[in-house]
Structure 1
Amino acid sequence: MVSPRRLGAVIAVLAVGASGCFFDSADAVEDPATPAPNRSDAASRPANGLGPEGTGPAPANVTIALRVDVDTFDPLRSLGDSGAQQAFQLTYETMVRLAPDGSIVAGAASEWTTDGASTTFTIAPGLSCVDGTPLDAAAIAESLRVFGAEGAMTANAVFGSAGLLSVTSDDAAQTVTVTTAAPYNDMLIGMTSAGYLVCPGGLADREALQEKAAGSGPYELVSSKSGEYTFKRRDSYTNTPAGTDIADLPTTITLVEIGDDGTAADRLGQGRVSIAGTQSSISEFLLTDPSLVSVPAAGFGTNAVTFMQTPDAVTLDPNLRVGIAMLLDSVKGATAETAGLGVSHRTLLTPNLACYSEAAEQFAPKYDQVAAMAHLDATGYQLGAGGFRSRPDGSPLIIRVVGNNLQGTAPQYIAEQLEKAGFHVDLFMGTYSESIAKLLTDQFDVGIYPFVSTYPAPSSWPNQIGTTAMANFAKVSNPAFDEYAALAQAAPKDSEEYCTLWAKAEQAALEAANVVPFSQPVNHWFGNGVTFNATYFTVDPFSIRSI
């Protein structure tokens, strides 16, 4: 265990910056005979989120640190941030699950068949809600129907950019058929971390659902106060993954919001927290402790600079966006955001996603400060008498940069680069919630946004920057990107055109500087007395074991 006194001394001198896997069975767990239980050489280990093998059932009580609080227990209204995602994994079923080797396996559905834009799921027997109500085909169909009809923030992940067309159920056959408005080849992978199934009682009382989960998952919420939530294992639950018994899981799991890495690491060392994820220089210190289990998990996709692109936004002009993009170095930006622990990419896709190509970065505006200023001058954004750049019509120009305390020094880096180039910058630094409020109310021009996805598929991008996407906070509108992304989502995944189309979509977004990718962040998860599997955002509750 980390000495609390030693840890406190180190925390005092370490910078505590932070930002917000496509699992490959070939890169799975290292040799379990390796002496140190953490196998903590992060430089040589793949950040695939797979922990070492456990020695037995999980401890009775496990506490997991959250970076972001749970915004609601209603999955249909949630923004889908990491705190809510973790709570949903404990309390709700999904139609299918993502196995450690990256395959899609049974969840609430025991089997499924796809025909064009329709997929028919056979519902597993014996599913029940925490209030005893059966979670049958009719209940599941209604949950998915409401999810699609309300335009939930994560609905595009399940139904694609075109959305849901219909959901029907067959009570006799216990099947549910989901039909999307356009062909969408990532429905199944999207369902692994979205489309959480809400029980009938929750749908009947949506206000109560905000505070009290109404699910059918392996845990029931038994205690809730802002920033701290306790869940009790449902011993009657039978829908565990193959090879897992409900008794293998912790009896209780408590989620606690901890706003910074230093405090999380301190509590981890004291044994007050069992599992915590860190994304700052604190990670390097924790990696030196052989008693801790290290489970690094890389994000799916990149975090990127985004620009407000409403009709009246100054950054609607592609000339201005390209000029700003040329001022920003993705390597320095990634270092500022992740304290050097992330991986710099100037591409939308990352190596743990299908169709990734390093060559795609050639389409992004190249970092070149001198060329950037020449480009800005030539397109009308020239220095005025006051020393600041003005709009092409000569009117004053102020660039509003928004950032938060979970993004390291990336917002400050962006602001400094703009100021060096002669822009008048208004930098807002707040909490995560405060910065999200700015995004949701169009109160920004430039900001770094966590585009990293909860599921490993290229379709996470059109589901966030597609013109009709619910999560398109920046109001990006790029017809070429939309067209190629739609074609890619309809193409057979084993066809040559699949990756060709995604490459064209990525090129369209990068050339237009709709976003400027910075980094593929890595969440360095640590366990004290436990091992587990994780993605960048969450810990798999079915995988928690004693070490």
Structure 2
Amino acid sequence: MSSSLRHFARPAAIVAGILGSIGVAPSGHAADQATIRIGADYDSLDPVRTVTSDGYQLVNVLYDRLVALDEKGAPVPALAESWSGDASRTVFKLRKGVTCSDGTPLTATATAAALTRLGAKETNAPMAYRTVGIAGYSATGDDDAGTVTITMSAPFSDLLIGLAMPWASIVCPSGLKDTEALGSTPSGTGPYTLDKAASVRGSHYVLKLRADHAWDASGATGKDPGRPTTINVRVINNNTTAANELQSGTIDVSLVTGRDINRLKAAKSLDFLDAKPFGMQFMMFQHRDGYPTADLLVRRAIATAINRDLANRAATAGNGMTATSYISPLVACYEPKTADLLPKPDAEAAKALLKQAGYVPGADGIFAKDGKKLRLRLIGQPGLQGSAPEYILEALRAIGVEVELRNITLQETASVMSGPDWEIGVFPFGPPMPSANTAVPFVSGKGSNHGNIENARFAAAQAAALASSPDSPERCARWSEAQLSLLENMDILPLFGGVNTFFSRKGVRFTIGGPFVMDIRSIRVGK
């Protein structure tokens, strides 16, 4: 069975006693248990600190947030039962009866304190700007009215979407009293708690269901049939190991990537869900004066030489999506007309554009201008892009461009691409948040705008979109204009987006919590 859902979510059986003796959490095959795999240990369980998909998965189930996202990416009530306002000020009415894992009632003032910490300068939360922008804000609580008011210093229409993200989880008062401990000791209102005594850092974690949890955005409660009372979370770094354990039945749910996907999809004992991306990887061009890619005609020639479908196939073995914008169709305000601005791949047309830019082919077939060969330094990341960089290398060489490929790791992206030694690079854009605003730091302004793009129309449209009411047609109209402006000037070239596949044993059900995560709170066992 295959489907695609979004929220925004071994050898044959070994005796449990033996598993315990070697420090491995036993698989949960009892009716009230489930065992899932994460690919790496979490970085932090403090919501404002974690920046990894495995950290997000755990934070999502240990904490709750004011709002959640439905399957279409629209905000729906969670800890807040309703809200009203605009891009400048929003008032949230809190649900009654919500308690923290230590039994403390969650109040409006406590909720406001958690939200204040998110964006506080001293907190220095790496993802806070995605929720509350950069202009500043205030969060105040009224316990008598049961309301929390967020007032923005500048309009910010992404607030509601941002409040559904894991880093905007509401930390309870006991956690705010000792924020250093939050890295490994959660303090939230989520449906599961961490059993630290039964957990081993870096090996496995045991989550326990709260029977009193009755405020889930989905309407689920801690007493629902099929909901595991215990979820064992195992850290398994190797994909093939995880694939083998899925087939043997010692884990119930796992993300699997690479060469093992096809055999698992063929396995009759397993179901799977595809998690599609919010953001699409795109080619960055260096716009600095003196670089050949500062010339629009050269950028268009490069774009015309590349077959984006072939790039997608090379990157994802055909399991991904060919991009037309920097966001995917899953994201609100995606503009499908971007496809009309992308050139059809045509080597001869690409050569004609280079000639129009003043380049002429030499005896060796390499284009040159003013006696200087057209030489491009290409940055690629095979760990995230497969053989797509090599495909691009060959496609550009085929039209008479001298290309040098430098492969780097994800960790090297900022240091390499902020430097001067490149003309084109495949940028690994993969935001965890379904918003058109997520690419802004990389295509405008200073800082992470490595290609030094200056597009006044994009900047104006982005500002207008953020100032619009969250549910107004104006918001998407402006984001549409922003997306189109980048392609009209060929500031970037959208290429592809990877699809992550999660597998589960028959009889174990779950939903997707985003491009890289399962929604652990959605797991159900049995028919």
Tell me the TM-score range normalised by the shorter chain: 0.7 to 0.9
**From 222, 245, 248, the counterpart of 1:246:** 222
Structure-to-structure mapping, 1:120-139, within 5 angstroms: 120-130=91-101, 134-139=105-110
Tell me if 1:411 matches 2:397: no
Q: How many Å separate the matches in 1 of 2:510 and 2:490?
A: 39
**From 113, 130, 144, the counterpart of 2:115:** 144
Shift of 1:304: 2.3
Equivalent residues of 1:280, 1:341 under 8 A apart: no
**From 502, 516, 521, the counterpart of 2:498:** 521
**From 215, 218, 226, the counterpart of 2:191:** 218
**From 152, 156, 159, the counterpart of 2:132:** 159
Tell me if 1:73 matches 2:45: yes
Unaligned 5+ segments in structure 1 are 1-38, 51-56
Distance 1:253 1:262, change over 3 A: same
Equivalent residues of 2:158, 2:470 under 8 A apart: no
Unaligned 5+ segments in structure 2 are 8-28
Shift of 1:544: 0.8
Q: How many Å separate the matches in 2 of 1:298 and 1:521?
A: 7
**From 324, 328, 334, the counterpart of 1:346:** 324
Q: Indicate the percent of aligned positions where both proteins have the same amino acid.
A: 31
In structure 2, the residue matched to 1:427 is 406
Equivalent residues of 2:67, 2:164 under 8 A apart: yes
- Per-residue CA deviation, residues 11-65 of structure 1 (Å, 9 max, x unaligned), is xxxxxxxxxxxxxxxxxxxxxxxxxxxx34xxxx5x2349xxxxxx995443333
Tell me if 1:546 matches 2:525: yes
Q: How many Å separate the matches in 2 of 1:451 and 1:524?
A: 19
In structure 2, the residue matched to 1:479 is 456
Shift of 1:425: 1.7
In structure 2, the residue matched to 1:490 is 467
Equivalent residues of 1:59, 1:250 under 8 A apart: yes
Q: How many Å separate the matches in 1 of 2:381 and 2:291?
A: 18
Shift of 1:483: 1.1
Equivalent residues of 1:122, 1:175 under 8 A apart: yes
Distance 1:527 1:473, change over 3 A: farther
Equivalent residues of 2:384, 2:428 under 8 A apart: no
Distance 1:384 1:360, change over 3 A: same
Equivalent residues of 1:323, 1:373 under 8 A apart: yes
Distance 1:426 1:449, change over 3 A: closer
TM-score for the superposition, normalised by structure 1: 0.76
From the CA coordinates, give the structure whose radius of gyration is larger.
2
In structure 2, the residue matched to 1:536 is 515
Equivalent residues of 1:279, 1:522 under 8 A apart: no
Tell me if 1:330 matches 2:287: no
Return the letter of the residue paired with 2:221: D
Q: How many Å separate the matches in 1 of 2:294 and 2:185?
A: 41
In structure 1, the residue matched to 2:80 is 109
SS class of match (2:389): helix
Q: How many Å separate the matches in 2 of 1:445 and 1:185?
A: 34
**From 340, 352, 356, the counterpart of 1:362:** 340
Distance 1:375 1:69, change over 3 A: farther
Q: How many Å separate the matches in 2 of 1:477 and 1:113?
A: 36
Q: How many Å separate the matches in 2 of 1:48 and 1:121?
A: 28
Q: How many Å separate the matches in 1 of 2:451 and 2:137?
A: 26
In structure 2, the residue matched to 1:504 is 481
Shift of 1:523: 2.3
Q: How many Å separate the matches in 2 of 1:104 and 1:474?
A: 33
In structure 2, the residue matched to 1:10 is none
Equivalent residues of 1:365, 1:513 under 8 A apart: no
In structure 1, the residue matched to 2:26 is none
Return the letter of the residue paired with 1:331: D
> How many residues are matched?
494
SS class of match (1:299): coil
Return the letter of the residue paired with 1:240: D
Distance 1:393 1:490, change over 3 A: farther
- Per-residue CA deviation, residues 441-468 of structure 1 (Å, 9 max, x unaligned), is 8986644344344344434443664537
Tell me if 1:168 matches 2:148: no
TM-score for the superposition, normalised by structure 2: 0.79
SS class of match (2:426): strand
CA RMSD of aligned residues (A): 3.9
Return the letter of the residue paired with 1:540: D
SS class of match (1:253): strand
Return the letter of the residue paired with 2:188: G
